Structure 1
Amino acid sequence: MIHLAHSPDADDIFMYYAIAFGWVDSALGLRFHNEALDIETLNCAAIKGKYDVSAISFGMYPMIVDSYALLRTGVSFGNGYGPKLIKRQGENLKRHFKVALSGAHTTNAMLFRIAYPNAKIVYKNFLDIESAVLSGEVDAGVLIHESILNFSDKLEVEREIWDIWCELAKEYLPLPLGGMALRRSIPLHRAIDIESTLTKAVQIATQNKSLLSSMLLSRNLIRVNASELDTYLNLYANAESITLSELQIRAIDRLFALLHEAGIYPKPTSCQDSFIPTEYASLRYS
């Protein structure tokens, strides 16, 4: 049994449930048990090595590079969009403003800390950030996941994390948000099969978007309505989620370099050194 953890957000649910519904089988006959938890909980669990396969924030991957391989599938990027720094309408943020972020290990939080080194940060479940800003508990907050689609008209966007990313990266690259990691202790032939199974699941999900969306909605497996689901999947679970492109790999490597340069991680990390060597599958039987 392979224990696979993902977030309860619409994109992760969508990309995984082709397996849960029996649309995809493992070539080795592996069975999957899934668990849905918020992304910061998953990031912390990955640091402890809790799950065989887990969704993670790309920004925290260098923390687990020695114990987890980076998968090429199940990825979510922003491209002209992403998390949003919001505040109450008409208010000006002071230099030391108090902000609510969704977790210290999330990509958006790491980029935010580089851009706003003087902000006073508190961490909250992402579902509680909007209300914390509205109540005045904090001056601002960064909305992620489905929260970016529909928030109170008493709030306004101060800045897009996408814009911060472009300024820091100094080139136009997609913003690496979430990916999947697999425990390195899993035998290589199993690891290759797991990645292949997950890749097929994402591919079949995107090819059957309408049917799968309808099934998820009818079973109350997601938190958004049909219109919001369609919008959200167009953003974060699409053809570019199936397998990493060269441009996406460049973007992840640029993120890792930025975080290393900022002193967040002591040593550099690269994608190519982190992937499962899938060429082993053909060599094994040659």
Structure 2
Amino acid sequence: MICVAHSPDADDLFMYYAIVFGWVGSSLGQRFENVALDIQTLNAAAIKGTYDVSAISFGAYPFIRENFALLRTGVSFGQGYGPKLIKKKTTHLKKNFKVALSGQHTTNAIIFRLAYPQAKIVYKNFLEIESAVINGEVDAGVLIHESILNFDSSLVVEREIWDIWHEFCGAELPLPLGGMALRRSISLNQAIDIESTLTKAVEVAVKNKKILSKMLLERGVIRVNEKELDTYLNLYANNDSISLNDMQKQGIDKLFELGFQAEIYDILMRCEDYFIPTEYQDLRFS
């Protein structure tokens, strides 16, 4: 049984549930089970090597590169949008303002730290960040997942993480937010099959968006309403989620470069060096 860990946000559920509903399956007959946890818990679990396959923040991948391969599917990127730094309308942020972030290894936290080195950071479950700003526990917070769609009217967006990313990049590279990683101890033929199965699941989900969305809403596993779900999936679970394209790879490499320059990562990485070598399958049957 292969355990796939993912976040409980709508795009991860959407991309995985074609397997749960039996719409796609493994060509090797591998069986899957899933667990849903918040993204920083998943990042921390990946660092410990807890699950076979896990959704992760791209910002966390360099810390697990020796034990996990990076998958090409199930990805979420921002393109002109993404996490939002929010505050109360009446709050003026000083250089050392207190901010709530969703986790040390999340992409948004890494980019935030580069832009606001003097800020005082506390880490919280992403579902608690809005209330922490409202009740005055922190001066500001970075909202992620579905929280970016609908937040309290007393709050305003101070800055888009996308805008910070764009300034660092100097080009409109897509913002690498969520990816997936697979344990290297899994045999190569199994690993190739797992990636292929997950890719098919995302492709089938995207092609059958209306049907799958309705089923998820009827089962009450989604935190948003039908309209918000449609908006959110258009942002983070779409044709660009099926398999990494060249621009997305450039975005990942840029994130790794920024992290290395800031001494967050210990080596300069290229994502292309960390994928499952699927060419093995072609050689095997040639």
- Does the TM-score normalized on the shorter chain lie above 0.5? yes
What is the CA–CA distance in structure 1 between the aligned matches of 2:4 and 2:114, rounded to whole Å?
32
Question: Residue 7 in 1 paired to residue 11 in 2?
Answer: no
**Corresponding residue of 1:75:** 75
What is the CA–CA distance in structure 1 between the aligned matches of 2:269 and 2:35, rounded to whole Å?
28
CA-CA distance at 1:90 after TM superposition:
3.0
**Corresponding residue of 2:213:** 213
Question: Residue 20 in 1 paired to residue 15 in 2?
Answer: no
**Corresponding residue of 1:184:** 184
**Corresponding residue of 1:139:** 139
**Corresponding residue of 1:204:** 204
| Aligned ranges 1:251-266 → 2 under 5 Å | 251-266=251-266
Q: Mind listing any 5+ residue stretches in structure 1 that lack a counterpart?
A: none
Aligned residue pair count: 286
The C-alpha deviation readout for 1:159-213, integer Å capped at 9, x for no partner, is: 0000010111121100000000000110000000000000000000000000000
| Aligned ranges 1:1-150 → 2 under 5 Å | 1-150=1-150
**Corresponding residue of 1:230:** 230
What is the CA–CA distance in structure 2 between the aligned matches of 1:282 and 1:98, rounded to whole Å?
53
CA-CA distance at 1:115 after TM superposition:
0.4
**Corresponding residue of 2:271:** 271
CA-CA distance at 1:80 after TM superposition:
0.3
What is the CA–CA distance in structure 2 between the aligned matches of 1:65 and 1:270, rounded to whole Å?
11
Secondary structure of 1:272's counterpart equals helix
The C-alpha deviation readout for 1:140-171, integer Å capped at 9, x for no partner, is: 00000000000011000000000010111121
The C-alpha deviation readout for 1:70-115, integer Å capped at 9, x for no partner, is: 0000000000000000000132101110000000010000000010
What is the CA–CA distance in structure 2 between the aligned matches of 1:207 and 1:90, rounded to whole Å?
44
Which portions of structure 1, spanning 4 or more consecutive aligned residues, are displaced by more than 6 angstroms? none
What is the CA–CA distance in structure 2 between the aligned matches of 1:72 and 1:266, rounded to whole Å?
23
Question: Residue 170 in 1 paired to residue 170 in 2?
Answer: yes
Secondary structure of 2:205's counterpart equals helix
What is the CA–CA distance in structure 2 between the aligned matches of 1:193 and 1:266, rounded to whole Å?
31
CA-CA distance at 1:268 after TM superposition:
1.1
The residue identity in structure 2 corresponding to 1:237 is A
What is the CA–CA distance in structure 2 between the aligned matches of 1:90 and 1:98, rounded to whole Å?
15
Please, which moves more after superposition, 89-98 or 6-15?
89-98
**What percentage of residue pairs aligned between the two structures are identical?**
71
The residue identity in structure 2 corresponding to 1:263 is E
What is the CA–CA distance in structure 1 between the aligned matches of 2:91 and 2:47, rounded to whole Å?
38
The residue identity in structure 2 corresponding to 1:102 is S
CA RMSD between the two structures: 0.5
The residue identity in structure 1 corresponding to 2:201 is A
TM-score normalised per structure 2? 0.99
